[in-house]
Amino acid sequence: MEPILIYDTTLRDGTQGENINFTADEKLKIAMRLDEMGIHYIEGGWPGSNPRDIRFFDLAKRERFKSARITAFGSTRKPGIDAADDPNLKAILNSDTPAAAIFGKSWPLHVQSIMDNTLEENLAMIADSVAFLKSNGREVIYDAEHFFDGFKDAPDYAVNTLVAAFEAGADFIVLCDTNGGTLPHEVESITQSVTQNLKSRFGSRRELKLGIHTHNDCGMAAANAISAINCGAVMVHGTINGYGERCGNADLTTIIPILSDKMNRPCIPKKKLCGLKSLSRYVSETANNVPLNTRPFVGRSAFAHKGGIHVSAIMKDSRAYEHINPELVGNQRRVLMSDLAGKSNVEYKAKEMGVNLCANGCDSKAIVAAIKQMEDEGYQFDVADGSFQIMLEKFTEQFKPLFDLESFRVTIEKDKNFPCSAHATIKISVGDTHEITAAEGLGPVSALDNALRKALGNFYPDLDTMQLVDFKVRVVDGCDGTEAKVRVFIESRDQDQIWSTVGVSEDIIEASWEALADSFQFKLAKEAKQSRKPSKNGKAEDLKLGWSMSCSA
């Protein structure tokens, strides 16, 4: 089957999304990652519109791309001037890219009412611009903006705009659902009509290569793109994570695995598919956007299972509740713990975490009952794996705390002329040793965190690699007003892992401490496991000085 060409416009159309912005250097780094993934075309930006995109193309000239053709974007020439004199077209040539993408108007509404132009001049602008770029040695991708809306209003004129581009030498004709309001069955019928029309006009004079560019305003961008491909489109436009104006563009992290795995249509190399989740995370981190957990294929929740019946089934055959193998796209299966969990959930999670449920004769049914009771009291373990692992170890009498709290005191001082300040004093024990420290913070939890780090730093020197990245407080049941229970989530990370912990109490400081303490216990236990290895006599030996056996017992 003919391969589908992937055209990525994250660096141009994607940056038109709200809160999406990249520097020129960030755009180059993303472009290099896209190239590594095997993307065929990377639209770098609109060099005629801003200095940042000009700088990106200057940087891109110095790089060698293995698979991608860097593409400069722009519009057709302005009305009433020669293409050679148009500043936008000259900027495209100056960017020195092998490919150029230009858009033109397909909808009389835009031509006459928005641009105050004539239909005849619009056709001339399309033809002149394509011919000018072709005469300068560029591969030309023509984007027929608002094509589907234009076809619905004036089908003959919409097709004539495509004819103008094709006759001028455009290498690809891309049908654009710019407003995102077209439905899949409409995309299918219109694409079929266009294909038949153009082939009947031009016969076999030159191969017609169609592309599709869809927006997600009806939540149909990916479905519309797939519909067009089924009707003969050989190029698909989209962005990583679906970033783009308004509701975004077609999401390539959805389209690529559908093409490759579901439709058996070659696009990127199969061996590269396992890097899709990593690419998705890289782009979201660079954009400083929280990754969407429910994003198909690459989201954290894409292969998460909560119901006990589901978990029992996937333990026998993952196909029962998973449409693909998560590893195919670099993702992984997750089993969640909640009051909906069953015995299978507990057994799966225990195995995943390395907790031996049979070690002390603990019944997984008893653990399920305890979880449901705790969740009724306000705990939520499906988003707190760190606390769940500690709880499992406590139930099975395998938990070995690496520190114990003796006491803490938190004071908050407020002066009318200054903001609040918090001070924490904490007393902990590590083995037989007691440590008392004090610290300040921007708030009570910050002060507790600083004091605990200070106290533990005398025993465990690697805490600098751990940081708290998120802190959430939720009221469990608001009927008790200010005396209601609160649930605190803390998310922490180090260079290897992200983990979450939970605490519940009527006192927000106590709930915060519970989540904070679990977070540190999880980190220290992980470090302790990593620091021990089998010795020559088969016994574990400690690798790090300062970690006494009494501390880890």
Report the DSSP beta bridge partners of residue 504. Answer: 487
Residue 376: count other Cβ atoms within 10 Å of its Cβ: 9
Residue 212 identity: I
The candidate with the shortest Cα–Cα distance to 254, out of 334, 329, 179, 174, is: 329
pLDDT band at 338 (very low <50, low <70, confident <90, very high): low
Cβ(277)–Cβ(329) below 8 Å: yes
The residue extents of the domains of the chain are: 5-268, 304-374, 404-542
CATH architecture of the domain 5-268 equals Alpha-Beta Barrel (3.20)
Check pLDDT > 70 for residue 342.
no
How long, in residues, is the chain? Answer: 553
- Determine whether 80 is exposed, middle or buried from the number of CB atoms within 10 Å of its CB (0-12, 13-18, 19+): exposed
Least confident of 308-322, 449-463, 464-478, 539-553: 539-553
User: How far is the C-alpha of 89 from the C-alpha of 314, rounded, in Å?
Assistant: 56
User: What are all long-range contacts of 429-436, with beta carbons under 8 Å and residues at least 24 apart?
Assistant: 429/403, 429/404, 430/402, 430/403, 430/404, 430/456, 430/459, 430/551, 431/548, 431/550, 431/551, 431/553, 432/550, 433/459, 434/406, 435/459
Higher pLDDT, 85 or 346: 85
User: How far is the C-alpha of 519 from the C-alpha of 526, rounded, in Å?
Assistant: 11
Higher pLDDT, 535 or 21: 21
- Reduced to 3 states (helix: H, G, I; strand: E, B; else coil), residue 302 is coil
Model confidence, pTM = 0.73
- Reduced to 3 states (helix: H, G, I; strand: E, B; else coil), residue 269 is coil
- Reduced to 3 states (helix: H, G, I; strand: E, B; else coil), residue 186 is helix
pLDDT in the model for residue 537: 42
User: How far is the C-alpha of 512 from the C-alpha of 128, rounded, in Å?
Assistant: 66
pLDDT in the model for residue 364: 74
Q: Given this chain, do its domains 5-268 and 404-542 carry the same CATH topology? A: no
User: How far is the C-alpha of 123 from the C-alpha of 398, rounded, in Å?
Assistant: 76
Tokens of 522: 């999880």
Write the CB contacts of 62 (distance below 8 Å, at least 6 apart in sequence): none
State the DSSP code for 442: S
Half-sphere exposure of 503 (CA within 13 A, CB side): 22
Instruction: Give the highest mean pLDDT range of 146-155, 275-284, 302-311, 333-342.
Output: 146-155
pLDDT band at 464 (very low <50, low <70, confident <90, very high): confident
At 7-47, the pLDDT tens digits run 999 999 999 999 999 999 999 999 999 999 999 999 999 99
User: How far is the C-alpha of 317 from the C-alpha of 446, rounded, in Å?
Assistant: 46
The whole-chain average pLDDT of the chain stands at: 88
Average pLDDT over residues 399-406: 91
3.40.50.300, 3.30.160.270, 1.10.3720.10, 2.40.10.10: CATH of 404-542: 3.30.160.270
Check pLDDT > 90 for residue 325.
yes
Angle between helices 308-316 and 343-353 (to 10 degrees): 60
Average pLDDT over residues 453-471: 87
The candidate with the shortest Cα–Cα distance to 12, out of 289, 249, 256, 284, is: 249
Report the DSSP beta bridge partners of residue 126. Answer: none
pLDDT in the model for residue 302: 92
Residue 475 identity: V
Higher pLDDT, 279 or 346: 279
Higher pLDDT, 533 or 41: 41
